[in-house]
Amino acid sequence: MQPSSSFTTKHVLFDHDGGVDDFLSLLLLLHMPHVKLLGVSVTPADCYLETALLTTHKLLALANRPDVEVSGGNYHGVNAFPSDWRAKPKILNALPTMINVDVDAQAAHYDDNTAFIIRKLEAAPDPVVFLMTGPCSSLVHALEQAPTLREKIAEVVWMGGAVDVIGNVKTYNHNGTAEWNVFWDPISAHKLFRSGLPITIVPLDATNTVPVSFDFLKRLATQANYFFSNLAGQFWATTIDTIPAYEYTYFMWDVLTTSYLAIPEAFDFEMLELEVSPSGPSAGQTYRKPGSGQWVKTAVGVRKEEFYEFLFALLKQDIVTAS
């Protein structure tokens, strides 16, 4: 499946949290000719910030996109990701395709990505799609400081939540109902769902159908002579210690979410009234709350073969930027 040629240009602000899947999402965005990437904000959740900023700049350099501004956040959430998860992405900068990519060690980025988001929204020529593949804190904080900028957001697209499936948080004093991007800052997620913004989420209900399996990696390896297929294969190979897993499996959480911007017709959606528990043993739980008026466009399924066809085809292509 190819992205529709009839798509008009989408102005996109991208906020990620520095995991392997987040960087693969950046690669997908850079490949989408109808996407004009206005900036990249890094929330230090599933990463250590310095490493994630370096990887982001290296990928932009490989795509010949040094014009894209990058921002680093300084908010550290409520419930920290495990430290070994946050440290693991450091290996990405040592991969054969990445280690010798030269970027300015002092490459420009804002220390406060809240101010960055405000500036980018103010300057956007059209309402933007705000894509989040990490927690939603940076956007929520920005709109608390500048609430009139809600009008500059056409759609919030978020990899977050577990509605009708079990969560992936397994930690002390939690009942296991939450997904990590929501659990990291459940207070901000609670506020986001009450914001009145047009929100689309791709929760675990959909992402649980697309694991990073050995069969997937083998198929991707058959097109390793294409530069970006090779690079993506190197990135995904760093996740194999979770295949198989006793407690965790690595899924295409963020990549699936990002693909919605190109192939929305491959998804099944329902409009649901949702709420987020802000605290307690169910902190971060995303659940149905009829009558709340908090309508959220929710991915409940995806046609996997259409998604895979799109993904494999995209990773064979060179990068063409939106005009």
pLDDT of residue 273 exceeding 80: yes
In this prediction, residue 151 has a pLDDT band, given cuts at 50, 70 and 90, of: very high
List residues bridging with 71 in a β-sheet.
41, 110
pLDDT of residue 240 exceeding 50: yes
Q: Which domain holds residue 124?
A: 10-314
Report the alpha-carbon distance of residue 266 to residue 286 in Å, rounded.
Answer: 23
In this prediction, residue 143 has a pLDDT band, given cuts at 50, 70 and 90, of: very high
Domain count for the chain, please give it: 1
Per-residue pLDDT of 18-45, as tens digits, reads 999 999 999 999 999 999 999 999 999 9
169 falls within a domain: yes
CA nearest 190: which of 293, 276, 77, 283? 276
5 falls within a domain: no
76 falls within a domain: yes
pLDDT of residue 246 exceeding 80: no
pLDDT of residue 245 exceeding 80: no
200 falls within a domain: yes
Report the alpha-carbon distance of residue 59 to residue 54 in Å, rounded.
Answer: 9
More confident residue, 243 or 41: 41
CA nearest 258: which of 137, 163, 131, 160? 131
pLDDT, residue 248, reads: 75
Mean pLDDT for all residues in the chain? 93
- Give the pLDDT mean for 155-172: 96
pLDDT of residue 7 exceeding 80: no
Assign residue 248 the CATH number of its domain. Answer: 3.90.245.10
Which residue carries 């040629």 as its tokens? 5
321 falls within a domain: no
pLDDT, residue 323, reads: 47
Report the alpha-carbon distance of residue 188 to residue 158 in Å, rounded.
Answer: 13
Q: What are phi and psi of 244, to 5 degrees?
A: -75, 170
Per-residue pLDDT of 166-217, as tens digits, reads 999 999 899 999 999 999 999 999 999 999 999 999 999 999 999 999 999 9
pLDDT, residue 168, reads: 94
pLDDT, residue 259, reads: 98
pLDDT, residue 97, reads: 95
More confident residue, 218 or 319: 218
61 falls within a domain: yes
1 falls within a domain: no
pLDDT, residue 5, reads: 44
